[in-house]
A and B are shown apart, each in its own frame.
Chain A
Amino acid sequence: MPSTLFKNARLLDPWTHLDQTGDLLAVDGAIRAIGADAAAAAPAGAVIVDCEGHCLAPGLIDMRVHLSEPGHEYLEDIETTSRAAVAGGITSLVALPGTEPVLDEVSTVEFVSRRARKLGLVNIYAYGAATRGLAGKELTEMGLLAQAGAVGFTDGTRAIADALVMRRALSYARTFDQLIVQHPEEPKLAAGGAVTEGEIATRLGLPGITPVAELIMIERDLHLVEITGARYHVAHVSTGAAIEAIRRAKARGLPVTCDTAPAYFMLNETAIEEYRTFTKLSPPLRPEADRRAVVEGLRDGTIDAIASDHRPHDQDSKRLPFTSAAAGIIGLETLLPLALTLHHKGDVPLARVLRALTQAPADILRLPIGRLALGAAADLVLIDLDRPYRIRAEQFKSKARNTPFDGMPVQGCVLKTFVAGRNVYGAER
């Protein structure tokens, strides 16, 4: 039985409220012992990992990743996505269904999990498409897709815009106790837009999107959630008004959760000056007041999770005039250091930052992962919380380089990553 003893670790786990120095024993891919008795329980021949006082935490769960395989392997394939993920301390990720072909059939969902299993680097889960071909019209076979492993349903970067389709998606998903994930943007209202409407858009002559497009979609959906009772998750929430709507809905007891992506608490719309297409996102970057509202939403827990929304693009898609350029940035390898800025700046306590990256997505997805618990999978990340360095895109394991954070000084890095007890990143250290 392969076993690993992690010694001298600062054991950090939001799920068990653990923050103490000690040891952890992993045997046969699962956590066998935690704390004082771990060393004694270690079998002879166990691999010893001296953590040197660094943080040992549950591996991160990234609940929003755009896979480029199948369909766009030239951008990135499941292997490079996996290598980038584990380099970022991510041990589980959830693929969005916008691949080619779309993940709207049992066979394509099974293809993704089979590829991931064969590689054995990172746990890859998948959302099924909520509607066939992401076209927003006919529901997919949610029951069968869920049996095949889909952990929720979404149309990816397209909002489920038709109110009747959304109502039925929510109702039908609830039949199987499944989650519906919405891209919150009223598409008609946002049509043709590239950036948030306002002074900067006006100065640059770029077509703007009113931030109300996010709020309208969420508020409509919340009424539908109220009549259907389905579990509803808002992806990459980015405006203060939308966060407030979700805060009130949670207070009323609606089954609603949300995530945000690091760009929305790291950057505001001024980053688009000079037409930097690496800052073109969907939803677009917002004014500073919204950025602060995102930080506050993370601090008070209205925003449950942080997801990378990793979306690879090649140079040809970004070296274009702003309105023609593709939206989205990569984020697997910057998720942790960017999230840790919230802790280092004193905006959000460390335990809450970690929860947004581990326990919260696990709970939303109802997966028994993301925790330091006896019997749980030994998916672990060893983190040096304080080491300062600059983000270097050219060192990424990801094939893509589309990040606005290249060169940014950050603090906190991944030392080693373990999936089911196996050292999948940082072995040479």
Chain B
Amino acid sequence: MDKSPSPLFPHRHLLGIDGLKADDINAILDLAEGYVEQNRADDKKRTVLRGRTIINLFFENSTRTRTSFELAGKRLGADVINMSVDGTSIKKGETLIDTAMTLNAMHLDALVVRHHESGAVHLLADKMNCAVINAGDGAHEHPTQALLDALTIRRRKGSLKGLTVAICGDILHSRVARSNIALLNIMGARVRVVAPRTLLPAQIERLGVEVFHDMARGLADVDIIMMLRLQMERMNGNFLPSLREYFHFYGLDQAKLAKAKPDALIMHPGPINRGVEIDSAVADDIDRSLILGQVEMGVAVRMACLDLLMRTDAKRNDA
């Protein structure tokens, strides 16, 4: 069977940003622009993926990402089914491979997967004949989040090239940080990470970032501030002595924000912990905060990803 991929996006799966080229990313963002307009219209539904089946397979709780993928699939006319698997109550590995093989036998067209372990989506993708989209695997990657962040920035700043972006907070446990670091480097932005040393993984500077431990210095003259959620559920040790101390030194408030460029924009993948990593007044500042805009872009970007990956299949089936 001909498996020649779409010339616009020559990949079978979307497992991570690592491995993509600027052209691939632009192809997704350009297509997503059109879907932003479609999503704002009264009639939001198209039929380009009519007859296709998408399963959202979530081994980790998520409302936002799953809903976003569900809307994206439905607005393109596909049938979307949500499956939630509680990863803690079953023997994980057998379920993962067995679930993949079972779903594969049902002739899916796309599988969207979130899993709490790094590499789990790669393992599963090996068993699937359909397109697989990584909706977050452990502390590894969350590519659609980085893509929606890129679209959000591009629409406000015109381009990512030459911008300085500070990613702040729990870098150690963050797949969002890893995907964004990869994407921003590919697109020619300068990337900083700002965090206490206990929340930074080893040799993070080798990923193409400048490392800061002080918010005032790290935010000096940046264009974009990406705050990360402090993932309390991932804290399996004493990474931080107290939330109070964390907010004092690393929480984004007006004083720290003042160090950035006057037109610097604030982003956060959500859901936000008010008063932990971000002050409410800053989060809700409609001139500076892009947080809700990111959510909107998320649906459009996921529509673009589904479209590009499944169009590959369409070509193949028509051949």
Contacts and interface: CB of A to CB of B under 8 A. Distances in A.
Contacts of A201: 201-202
A17 interface: no
B175 interface: yes
Contacts, number: 78
B94 A205 contact: no
Interface string A191-209: 1100001110111111110
A43 to B, nearest CB: 59
B195 to A, nearest CB: 13
Interface string A268-294: 000000110000000000000000000
Contact of B175 (A205, A274, A319, A322): A205
Interface stretch (B67-75, B132-140, B261-269, B307-315): B132-140
Contacts of B139: 205-207
Given A316-B94, A320-B93, A204 B202 contact: no
Interface string A213-225: 0000000000000
Interface string B219-233: 000000000000000
A324 B203 contact: no
Contacts of B202: 197-199, 201-202, 208, 210
Interface string B58-82: 0000000000000000000000000
Interface stretch (B25-33, B113-121, B241-249): B113-121
Nearest to A206: B118
Interface string A48-90: 0000000000000000000000000000000000000000000
Contact of B207 (A199, A206, A210, A275): A199
Nearest to B138: A205
Contact of A321 (B123, B178, B204, B207): B123
B122 A275 contact: yes
A423 interface: no
B236 A319 contact: no
B92 interface: yes
B179 to A, nearest CB: 10
Q: How large is the interface on A (under 10, 10 to 19, 20 to 34, 35 or more residues)?
A: 20 to 34
A206 B203 contact: no
Contacts of B117: 321-324
Given A205-B140, A205-B178, A323 B203 contact: no
Interface string B147-180: 0000000000000000000000000000100100
A290 to B, nearest CB: 15
A191 B178 CA distance: 23
A286 to B, nearest CB: 13
B113 to A, nearest CB: 12
A324 B94 CA distance: 11
A192 B139 CA distance: 14
B206 interface: yes
B303 interface: no
Given A203-B178, A274-B122, A323 B138 contact: yes
A199 B137 CA distance: 18
B178 A319 contact: no
Nearest to A203: B207
Contacts of A198: 202-203
A204 B207 CA distance: 11
A205 B203 contact: no
A202 B93 CA distance: 23
Contacts of B206: 199, 202
Interface in B99-146: 115, 117-120, 122-123, 137-141
Closest 7 CB pairs of A and B: A205-B140, A275-B119, A320-B93, A321-B117, A205-B139, A205-B118, A321-B120
25 contacts: A191-B237, A192-B236, A199-B203, A199-B207, A201-B201, A202-B201, A202-B202, A203-B207, A205-B175, A206-B119, A206-B139, A206-B140, A210-B202, A274-B122, A275-B118, A275-B119, A317-B93, A319-B93, A320-B92, A321-B138, A322-B117, A322-B118, A322-B119, A324-B92, A324-B93
Given A201-B201, A275-B122, A322-B117, 16 more contacts: A191-B237, A197-B202, A198-B202, A199-B202, A199-B203, A202-B207, A203-B18, A204-B119, A205-B137, A205-B175, A206-B118, A316-B93, A316-B94, A319-B123, A324-B92, A325-B93
